[in-house]
Amino acid sequence: MNPTIKTVLVIGSGGVGSFYGGRLSKAGLEVSFLCRSDFHQVKSKGITIKSYQGDFLVTPTQVVARTEDYQGKPDLVLIATKVLAETNLVELLRPLIAPGVKLLLIQNGIEVERELANAYPNTPLLSAIAFIGVNKTGPGQIHHQLHGRLEIGAYPHGWDLELDQVMAAFEPTGLSVKHSTNIEKSRWKKLIWNAAFNPVSVLGLANTQQILTSPQSRLLLKGIMSEILAIANSRGLGLSEELIEQNIRVTEEFPPYKTSMLLDFEAHRPLEIESILGNPIRLAKESGVLVPHLETLQALLKLRVKALE
Amino acid sequence: MNPTIKTVLVIGSGGVGSFYGGRLSKAGLEVSFLCRSDFHQVKSKGITIKSYQGDFLVTPTQVVARTEDYQGKPDLVLIATKVLAETNLVELLRPLIAPGVKLLLIQNGIEVERELANAYPNTPLLSAIAFIGVNKTGPGQIHHQLHGRLEIGAYPHGWDLELDQVMAAFEPTGLSVKHSTNIEKSRWKKLIWNAAFNPVSVLGLANTQQILTSPQSRLLLKGIMSEILAIANSRGLGLSEELIEQNIRVTEEFPPYKTSMLLDFEAHRPLEIESILGNPIRLAKESGVLVPHLETLQALLKLRVKALE
């Protein structure tokens, strides 16, 4: 087994998958993409990344419409699909699972790894969260506006060698990639922001500044964040209360912007309600933590999304 | 002082004011209307009431654009404006306050009477809630679809003679008018429905059936109703927990419909957020009752309404 990662297959050609896959390709790896609606566009013209760090074009090694069509076995499968009930990742990945293949999941929310880990316990699973502002603006068209840091950890633990290999693969990209020794904790930390700003922005049709300006919704943000903290801490993660003020302060320092969930909503794309609200609510119930804010947001979002249909 | 009510001035020519004023007029009383945007239409063509109990035309005795312009003193001022921060009822009514004038407030929400009672402690104040389905469909155009029962009580107590006179004035209308011996309690009972269905319908853009069909929003309704009950009961009103199931069952038995707040929202009319959510939340704070659902709804509604501006 060759320890070096040379071939990568990206599943999910949205902003995140295209950007990280694109940077790995630019750094010299052989990067292929699984594309559905974008297949013909990407196959004929590649992926154009407009980035504040410099625009570039990605020409994939292979473009496939189904995982079965991939030629060979990739060293790394970079999974950056949205976390949606209708996506059966386990079945999607089945044709790729083989010795030497590693999985890297770059997704939002919590408990996104469990299903894959249960289905393929012998396949190294690395779990990552991306701190990035990147959007898909059209088929094969990506706009990278902000940051790009990754935090990567093993799920649930172990896979030390494989983690090193993945970190090494990202090194020539020049991107900031941090090893998280407790990826579960990192996910909960990021969830503090996501569970508050994303749903409130959609239900209130408001950008970050509009949310922070109204005293009631500012208080609401804190109420939501407190509930996320309480669930995390009921699981022994020891998150500090100070993270609440910190998340608010950091957001306030940025120019006003629309959350990714609001952008998805406005574009009539599906929303990641389960990984951001549904999973935390389920864990809260297991621990007996009361989460009325989260439950209210979840119920309203589900109604609101139905009204779009 | 003549105990019989012969002249009525209706403030607020929306569905409720027009309907009850119209029925009093049809029953032979001299009913005048204060109109703003509808002034010219109502002055020249009156008010047309399309009703499942029979259509009729209301020709007001006087149509005035300002309370100062009303000729004489009305025996009864029927106030059916929306409860909005921008409406200064105390100042609006000042030119009309005189011995023999009685006030009848037909409005939703709680604590809607306090300001008037404080400003005019010697003026009889009757407080009513309307169980009715009535909408304004255009200037001087009203559609009455459902019911028409009134519950009237004195605020806060007393005014027995005046209450009898108002009840007697409604007798020839044939409408069901009930004397509420505890109008505060009646308001809270109605608020159980209003505080739950109205905000959820706007934030979820959903009709009653759509709200009741989703398990999460059904649970949300119950959570909201429980908070209203808890505030009411912290004030010694002794509302039964059974009211929750009862409100849900009754709504389920009706054909699906849009709440009045959703209709207002869709027509870009202002929403009664304060009397339905703001006042209960304020009282909850005074009593130390936790109301996370209500606070979430209030914060989101305020954002959502701002997004319309």
Q: Name the minimum distance, in Å, from the CA of A180 to any CA of chain B.
A: 34
> A191 and A302, same structural domain?
yes
Q: Residue B110: pLDDT band by 50, 70, 90 thresholds?
A: very high
Q: Is B276 part of any domain?
A: yes
State how far Cα A50 lies from the chain centre.
Answer: 20
Domain CATH code at residue B269: 1.10.1040.10
Residues of B near A (CB-CB distance < 8 A)? 200, 203-206, 210-211, 214, 216-217, 219-220, 223, 292-293, 295-300, 302-304, 306-307
Distance from CA of B214 to the nearest CA of A (A): 8
Q: Chain A contacts of B303, Cβ < 8 Å?
A: 200, 203-206, 210-211, 214, 217
Q: Give the C-alpha separation, B17 to B21, whole Å.
A: 6
- Point out the domain boundary residue: A181, A210, A238: A181
A205 and A157 belong to one structural domain: no
Contact between B303 and A223 using a beta-carbon 8 Å cutoff: no
What is the 3-class SS of B259-300, one letter each residue?
CHHHHHHHCCCCCCHHHHHHHHHHHHHHHCCCCHHHHHHHHH
Residue keyed to tokens 């912007």: A257
Nearest to A205 among B211, B299, B304 (CB): B304
Environment class of residue A29 by beta-carbon count within 10 Å: exposed (0-12), middle (13-18) or buried (19+)? Answer: buried
Task: Assess whether A218 and A281 both reside in one domain.
Answer: yes
Choosing from B181, B209, B239, the residue where a domain stops is: B181
Average pLDDT along chain A: 95
Asked if residue B124 and residue B205 are part of one domain, the reply reads: no
CB spacing of B300 vs A300 below 8 angstroms: yes
For an interface test with A, which of B228, B262, B300, B309 has the most A Cβ atoms less than 10 Å from its Cβ?
A: B300
Residues in chain A within 8 Å Cβ distance of B203: 203, 300, 303-304
Contact B307 A205 (CB under 8 A): yes
The confidence band for B91, taking pLDDT boundaries of 50, 70 and 90, is very high
Say whether A36 sits in a helix, a strand or coil.
Answer: coil
**Chain A residue with the nearest C-alpha to that of B301:** A204
Q: Are B70 and B90 contained in the same domain?
A: yes
- Assembly ipTM: 0.86
| B20 lies in some domain | yes
Residues A250-297 pLDDT 10s: 999 988 989 989 999 999 989 999 999 999 999 999 999 999 999 999
A250/A266 same-domain check: yes
Alpha helices, H only, chain B: 15-26, 39-45, 89-93, 114-119, 160-170, 183-204, 208-213, 215-234, 242-253, 260-266, 273, 279-287, 292-306
Nearest residue in B to A302, CA atom: B204
**DSSP bridge partners of A48:** A57, A141
For a pLDDT cut of 90, what percent of chain A falls above it? 89
Looking at residue B254, its pLDDT comes to 86
Test B292 with A223 for CB contact under 8 angstroms. yes
Cα-Cα end-to-end distance for chain B: 49
Q: For B237-274, how does the pLDDT look when each residue is reduced to its tens digit (9 = 90+)?
A: 999 999 999 999 999 998 898 998 999 999 998 999 99
- The distance between the two most distant Cα atoms of chain B, rounded to a whole number of Å, is 58
Does residue B85 surpass a pLDDT of 80? Answer: no
Dist CA B93 CA A144 (whole Å): 59
A2 lies in some domain = no
Does residue B137 surpass a pLDDT of 70? yes
Mean pLDDT of A220-224: 98
Show the tokens assigned to A308. 């779009």
Q: Do A303 and B206 touch (CB under 8 A)?
A: yes
Assigned domain for B2 exists: no
* Token pair 């209960």 in the structure block, residue: B280
Greatest CA separation found in chain A?
58
Q: Do A244 and A296 fall into the same domain? A: yes
Q: Report CB contact under 8 Å: A299, B205.
A: no
Average pLDDT, integer, range B268-282: 95
Output the six-digit token pair for A223.
């109420």
Interface test with A, best of B211, B224, B303, B305 (most A CBs within 10 A): B303
Tell how strand B47-51 and strand B30-34 pair up. unpaired
pLDDT at B3 (0 to 100): 65
Number of domains in chain A: 2
- Residue A258 contacts residue A265 (beta carbons within 8 Å): no
pLDDT of residue B157: 87
| pLDDT the model gives residue A239 | 97
**Residue of chain B minimizing CA distance to A304:** B204
- Write down the pLDDT at residue B275: 93
- Gap between the Cα atoms of A258 and B258, Å rounded: 30
* Closest Cα in chain A to B222: A296
With beta carbons under 8 A apart, name residues in chain A contacting B298.
216
Are A31 and A64 in contact, with CB atoms under 8 Å apart?
A: no
Chains A, B: CB pairs < 8 Å: 100
Interface with chain B: mutation pick from A212, A216, A274, A306, highest number of B CBs within 10 Å: A216
Q: How confident is the model at residue A1 (pLDDT cuts 50, 70, 90)?
A: very low
State whether B34 and B110 are in the same domain. Answer: yes
Closest CA to A302 of B200, B260, B293: B200
Mean pLDDT of chain B: 95
Which candidate from A204, A295, A307 shows the least CB-CB separation from B307?
A: A204
pLDDT at residue A240 above 90? yes
The answer to whether residue A274 sits within a structural domain is yes
Our measurement of the distance from residue A87's CA atom to the centroid of its chain's CA atoms, rounded to an integer in Å, reads 14
Closest by CA position to A231, among listed A297, A274, A181, A278: A278
Distance CA B296, CA A143 (A): 34
Residue B69 is part of a domain; what is its CATH number?
A: 3.40.50.720
Q: Do A292 and B293 touch (CB under 8 A)?
A: yes
Say how far apart CA A217 and CA B298 lie, in whole Å. Answer: 8
A200 neighbourhood in chain B, CB within 8 Å: 299-300, 303
Q: How much is the CA Rg of chain A, to the nearest whole Å? A: 19
**What percent of chain B has pLDDT above 90?**
89
Is the sign of the CA dihedral B124, B120, B93, B199 positive or negative? negative
A7-11 and A30-34 strand pairing: parallel
Whether residues A87 and A165 fall in one domain: yes
Which of the listed residues A131, A162, A181 is the one where a domain comes to its end? A181
Q: Which domain holds residue B170?
A: 7-181
Least confident of A169-183, B72-86, B183-197: B72-86
Choose from A221, A222, A291, A296 for mutation: most chain B CBs within 10 A.
Answer: A296
* Chain A residues closer than 8 Å to B219 by CB: 295, 299
| pTM given for the model | 0.90
Task: State how far the Cα of A41 lies from the Cα of B23, in Å rounded to an integer.
Answer: 67
B249 CA: distance to closest CA in chain A (Å)? 20
Do B158 and B270 lie in one domain? The reply is: no
| Residues A97-131: tens digit of each pLDDT | 999 999 999 999 999 999 999 999 999 999 999 99
The pLDDT assigned to A3 comes to 64
Phi, psi of A126 (to 5 degrees): -105, 140
Task: Give the pLDDT confidence of A146-179 residue by residue, as tens digits.
Answer: 889 999 999 988 899 999 999 999 999 999 999 9
| Neighboring chain B residues of A298 at a CB cutoff of 8 Å | 216
Residue A58: inside a domain, yes or no?
Answer: yes
3-state helix, strand, coil in chain B (%, to 5): 50, 20, 35
pLDDT in tens, A55-91: 999 999 999 999 999 999 999 999 999 888 778 999 9
Residues A76 and A177 in one domain: yes
A204 and A172 part of one domain:
no
- Comparing CB atoms, the residue among A211, A220, A303 nearest residue B211 is A303
In this structure, is residue B293 part of a structural domain?
Answer: yes
Query: Above 80 in pLDDT, residue B83?
Result: yes
Write down the pLDDT at residue B1: 44
Chain A residues with CB under 8 Å of B299 CB are: 200, 204, 214, 216-217, 219-220
Distance CA B165, CA A117 (A): 76
Note the residue count of chain B.
309
Put simply, the answer to whether B220 touches A296 (Cβ < 8 Å) is yes
Say whether pLDDT at B27 is over 90: yes
Is residue B261 situated within a structural domain?
yes
